[in-house]
A = this chain, B = another copy of it.
Amino acid sequence: MFEQLGLIGCGLMGGSFALAMKRAGLVKRVVGYSKSPSTTERARQMGVIDVEAPSALLAVSGADIVLLAVPVSATEATLKAIKHLVTPDMLIMDVGSTKRDVIDAARRVLRDHVTSFVPCHPIAGSEASGVEHADADLYYGRQVILTPIDKTSTNHVQSAASLWEGLGCKVLRMTPEAHDSAFAAVSHLPHLIAFALINSISGQQNGKDFLQLAGPGFRDFTRIAASDPKVWRDILVANRHELLDQTKLFRQSLHAMEQLIEHGDTDALEQAIAHASDTRANWRMGSKKPA
């Protein structure tokens, strides 16, 4: 049980965390700060936070747990803003989709206090953004990846793991490098593809007409294309080396299938589709609840 959560960033991810923590009885009080005062006010009105803080630093004052829920490129500036109030007993977590850049920023800014920082990535989210979509169930049943480094306090890692488990999550640990490789493939690349596909279609002369005909397959395939631009700009740039390696492999895979289609090699094409189809049909999302 924590006394006070200092929430920095009261959007979808941060707001949902605050709601879940309260519902689980894991925190007494939430003090929140968002860059936009209207977001902070709205979060208080909605009961997502209890007290509005006028700065990140004041959100951290008196907190025994801090969550950074800001676009990953804002991590460094946020840590700079709060570093004077960080104590060894304070658990600081983030929810960023990339981990190496976030850890680098934490090392640079927090120095010895980097022991307090447990890098987290809950595999949850929504194409909707903003505190209006905050949902106490967002994290329930999902996987959460912790990527502690050598300096991270073991106690804080255990505390973070217990906390996420208390929210109904399945906790995994891995290195920041392994994390960033994996999510380049299964998350960052799919988002990039979805953005590129929408822009490719909408940029065509008949693009609007085409889009009006699209059905449920397209709806699900492109859902992630509606994601927050600032958040995803940061992720794609922060993990660009791994991501560009993945786009290269994807292009090769696409090209191989295009060749089969162009040459009418129906047997090999059917085999390639069957391989994908079997793989996907047998895939189950790692979680505590059914996919």
Contact = CB atoms under 8 A, between A and B. Distances in A.
Interface residues of A, number: 93
B206 A182 contact: yes
A25 interface: no
Given A216-B124, A226-B281, A236 B269 contact: yes
A204 B221 contact: no
Interface string A204-219: 1011011111111111
Contact of A186 (B211, B226, B269): B211
A224 interface: yes
A249 B202 contact: no
Question: Which of A193, A196, A257, A281: most chain B CB closer than 10 A?
Answer: A196
B123 A269 contact: no
Contacts of A89: none
| Residue in A181, A237, A273, A291 whose Cβ sees the most chain B Cβ within 10 Å | A273
A221 B190 contact: yes
A36 B285 CA distance: 33
Given A258-B247, A262-B244, A252 B200 contact: yes
Given A143-B215, A186-B214, 14 more contacts: A125-B215, A127-B281, A187-B218, A190-B197, A196-B253, A199-B257, A199-B272, A199-B276, A217-B224, A219-B285, A220-B223, A228-B277, A244-B258, A251-B254
28 contacts: A73-B266, A125-B215, A125-B216, A186-B218, A187-B217, A187-B218, A191-B217, A192-B257, A193-B193, A194-B276, A196-B254, A196-B257, A197-B253, A199-B257, A199-B275, A200-B250, A212-B286, A214-B283, A217-B224, A220-B220, A223-B280, A226-B277, A227-B273, A227-B277, A236-B257, A240-B262, A247-B254, A251-B251
